[in-house]
Amino acid sequence: MAKRPPVKKPAAVQLGWTDWSQSVRPPTASTSSQPAPAPAASSAPTRDWSKLDFSGGARSDTAPTLASPAAANVVESPAATNVADSPAEPAVITIGQLNKMIRRQLEGEFSVLWLRGEISNFKAHPSGHFYFSLKDKEAQVSAVMFRGYNSQLRFKPEDGMEVIVRGKITVYEPRGNYQVMCETMEPVGAGALQKAFEQLKRKLQAEGLFDQSRKRAIPSAPKHIAIVTSPSGAAIRDMLNVLSRRYKVARITLVPASVQGARATAEIVKAIGLANQLRDVDVLIVGRGGGSIEDMWSFNEVAVARAIVASRVPVISAVGHEIDFTIADFVADLRAPTPSAAAELVAKNAGELVAVIQRLERTLYGTMLAQISRGFDRVRTTQRLLIDPRRRIVDAVLRCDDLVERLERAVFESIDRTRTNLELIDERLSVRVRRRLDTVRAKFGRSSSMLDGLSPLRVLDRGYALVTIAGRAVTDSKAISIGQSVSVQLAHGRFEAKITEIEKGKL
């Protein structure tokens, strides 16, 4: 059986969807201008998957030849030979061998393919890989885009987004699942750059960076103008030409930066920062001439947008032509259609300034005349209403005398009322004090009578005596002994006695 020639893998050439769609077969890196001849029918036989036979018997001429070492071992093994001798028992292979053969067939058949479908079940893994499904109305297929490829995307895939991907079929042998390993991805209906532009525009707008409330007014007559652009481009020449004709008094500072290419974003951000370090800069122009969206993409980068927002100096964006819009135009304090228009906006024409000054002079002169006329009117009105000062003094003296008299009368009346009130209070207080003293005296008399009735001296008046030993009253015969001296207190006087006899017991 004739062996099928090996499949020639195409070189890694980055081509767009248009180039691939217009070619019959994937182009290679060959530099020959002659088209590649069509392959012979015998060199690429048509594959019929229905005729694929894994048994040890005869195979069709059109069946694909499987050059799997594992499969070869199975056929040549004794067990396989015995199985082949018996037509009722086919050759047995393992699941792993089956998946390997399927993977080899799919990857050889679909080395490169383009797919168009809608993204669903999108998941950005923490490792940086993208896992998702591509679907249409009829079916869906699993897909993966590894970090090395998706890092080159200028937009972020989302569920529901229709895309065109280029990749190849691969089989994950442990599970037996096949999936599309994507290498490139482009949105359908809009280019990748345009999609990235719209996504970044929505993100920054949601942050409020496009709000008019945060944008500053451009000075009408700036003394120092800083320009961030390429020193070799046509934009700087156009702006300097306009400024030299219309506004020669301004000081111009060029902060050079690349405006396209891989280094442009970092250089523009750095140039904006350097321009903000100049203390006397009144306004900053950031721009470049026209070009494709790829050429102007540096002004759509989020780093440039945030540098413009963080600028302490008002910024005018002047990128491309009037029909070109970039993210820098939306975040800047003012957008100019072209670099020349930016120079015209920031620098008034000398003739226009003279006309403005003359108009302001006429307005000031008329306003001053009107104010002087109103002042004369107020003086005349005041003169008619003015009274003789001496008459005002006499009226004030009379008014003072009347007030003094009223004050004296009020003081005397207040003193009389106070004296009367004090006399009434004194009389009331005397009555209350006398009543209180009588009450206290009566209560004191009653208390004295009660105290006299309870006093031991009253008991002595009735013939009783108080016997004490060393100042302590004797109440029990047990506390004394015969021959002991005691002190006897009578109602009138006292004497000492000696105990000669003790009689115990109660009265």
User: Which residue in the block uniquely carries the two structure tokens 């896992």?
Assistant: 131
State how far Cα 222 lies from the chain centre: 34
State how far Cα 36 lies from the chain centre: 58
Dig out the tokens for 463 from the structure. 């013939």
CA distance 154 to 186: 10
Do residues 464 and 473 make contact, with C-beta atoms less than 8 angstroms apart? no
CA distance 186 to 436: 112
State how far Cα 122 lies from the chain centre: 26
Q: Comparing 463 with 138, which gets the higher pLDDT?
A: 138
Q: Comparing 493 with 134, which gets the higher pLDDT?
A: 134
Across 408-412, average pLDDT = 91
Q: Percent of the chain, pLDDT > 90?
A: 22
Which superfamily does 109-189 belong to? Nucleic acid-binding proteins (2.40.50.140)
pLDDT tens digits for range 319-328: 988 888 888 8
Report whether pLDDT(45) > 50: no
Mean pLDDT of the chain: 78
Across 401-411, average pLDDT = 90
Question: What angle, 0 to 180 degrees and rounded to 10, lies between the N-to-C axes of helices 95-109 and 69-76?
Answer: 130
The pLDDT-based confidence of 16 (bands split at 50, 70, 90) is very low
CATH fold of 210-348 reads Rossmann fold (3.40.50)
Q: Give the per-residue pLDDT at 286.
A: 93
CA distance 242 to 293: 26
| Helical residues (DSSP H) of 253-310, grouped into ranges | 264-277, 302-310
- The set of long-range contacts for 489-497, using a CB threshold of 8 Å and a minimum separation of 24, is 489/460, 489/465, 490/460, 490/465, 491/457, 491/460, 491/461, 491/463
Q: 94: which DSSP letter?
A: -
Would you call 140 helix, strand, or coil by DSSP? strand
Q: Give the per-residue pLDDT at 14.
A: 43
How far lies 207's CA from each of 14, 108, 170, 202, in Å? 36, 49, 41, 9
Report whether pLDDT(62) > 80: no
The pLDDT-based confidence of 445 (bands split at 50, 70, 90) is confident
Report whether pLDDT(41) > 90: no
Of 64-68, 235-239, 308-312, 499-503, the one with minimum mean pLDDT is 64-68
Q: Give the per-residue pLDDT at 460.
A: 73
CB neighbours of residue 334 within 10 Å: 19
Report whether pLDDT(42) > 80: no
Q: Comparing 374 with 460, which gets the higher pLDDT?
A: 374
The pLDDT-based confidence of 257 (bands split at 50, 70, 90) is very high
pTM across the whole model: 0.42
Q: Give the per-residue pLDDT at 494.
A: 84
Report whether pLDDT(60) > 70: no
Which residue type sits at 67?
A: A
pLDDT tens digits for range 147-203: 888 888 877 888 888 888 999 888 888 888 889 999 998 887 656 677 778 888 888
CA distance 73 to 96: 14
Would you call 167 helix, strand, or coil by DSSP? strand
CA dihedral 14, 18, 19, 22 (to 10 degrees): 150
Q: Give the per-residue pLDDT at 414.
A: 92
pLDDT tens digits for range 99-148: 888 888 887 788 788 898 888 899 998 888 999 999 888 899 999 999 88
Do residues 332 and 317 make contact, with C-beta atoms less than 8 angstroms apart? yes
Q: In what order do the strands lie in the sheet with 224-229?
A: 251-256, 224-229, 283-288, 315-319, 334-335
Which residue type sits at 328?
A: A
Of 19-23, 66-70, 312-316, 494-498, the one with minimum mean pLDDT is 66-70
As a residue count, the chain comes to 507
CA distance 434 to 445: 17
Q: Percent of the chain, pLDDT > 70?
A: 79
